[in-house]
Amino acid sequence: MSEHLTPVVIVGARGRMGRVLIREVTGSDNFVLVGAVDRSGGPGRGLDAGRLAGTVDIGVTVTDELIPRRAVVVDFSLPQATVGNIRRCVDAGVPLVLGTTGIDAEARAVLSEASRTIPIVSDANFSVGITLLSRLAGLAARALGPSWDTEIIEIHHKHKRDAPSGTALRLAKAVAKATDRNLADLIRTDRSGSASEPRHEGEIGIVAVRGGDSVGEHTLMFLTDGERIELSHRASDRAIFARGALRAARWVESREPGLYSMADVLGLADLG
């Protein structure tokens, strides 16, 4: 048993990530769940958090009001709730791990302002592996230079609606940034009408594959005459994102106010 348990409040408890987070917290020796929040009037309100997550009762009742209680708040809820959740964390003076995606300009401005008062880890992807892969992508692209062709292949389950994936775009951005190029001028996601055209110099291609139940697979390829380098990441369990978020929660608990990312959590902020 760890000598110190990090107290955690999970916002968005009834969501897919929220339920995984509850299971990961309750099964860990490093964390203790002290609060769980569903949306106002949501059907999760009043249930035991353990039962909501599909495990045994743990004595934590799901509420529809965020009361930080000297804990790290881990928020994977809805964009429209983000501003209010950030402000409650500021009022209580507690750290925040924010994984909610799709937040608007107002929320980003509030997030930036709040980071002057409390420590915040905000990221669109809390996978430790993807965070490292993004940094390796930048390092490789810088070392190889723009003369090497770059292609990305991503695979996701058949129910995923967006293509390319956000992670594939993240990798492409890392390559473009490392080589001082503008991704918007280089990205290529469809070659169906260009059978007679050769590959354009410097372009970054992304191929999206959809099928089955794949949680997510990404392969970044650098190709030149006579050589090919491949960097791959394969996710087989959605719990990896929850584990990354909890790693961030334990890290941010003792940090000074500031706006951090998973790269900071892993000590990779100055790499790539």
Q: Which residues are catalytic?
A: 156, 160
Q: Residue 120 in 3-state DSSP?
A: strand
Strand partners for 260? 121
Where would I find the H helices in 145-206? Answer: 166-178, 183-186
β-bridge pairing 227-235 and 216-224:
antiparallel
Pick from 197, 209, 221, 204: nearest CA to 156: 209
Please answer whether residues 14 and 38 qualify as being in contact, where contact means their C-beta atoms are separated by less than 8 angstroms. Answer: yes
List C-alpha distances in Å: 102 to 21, 76, 80, 120, 233: 20, 11, 9, 17, 24
Helix (H, G, I), strand (E, B) or coil at 121: strand
Q: Which residues pair with 155 in a beta bridge?
A: 209, 217
Strands 6-11 and 72-75: parallel
Euclidean distance between CA atoms 71 and 7, whole angstroms:
5
With 0-12 CB in 10 A as exposed, 13-18 as middle and 19+ as buried, what is 255? middle
Count other Cβ atoms within 10 Å, centred on residue 174: 23
Report d(CA 213, CA 205) in Å as an integer.
Answer: 24
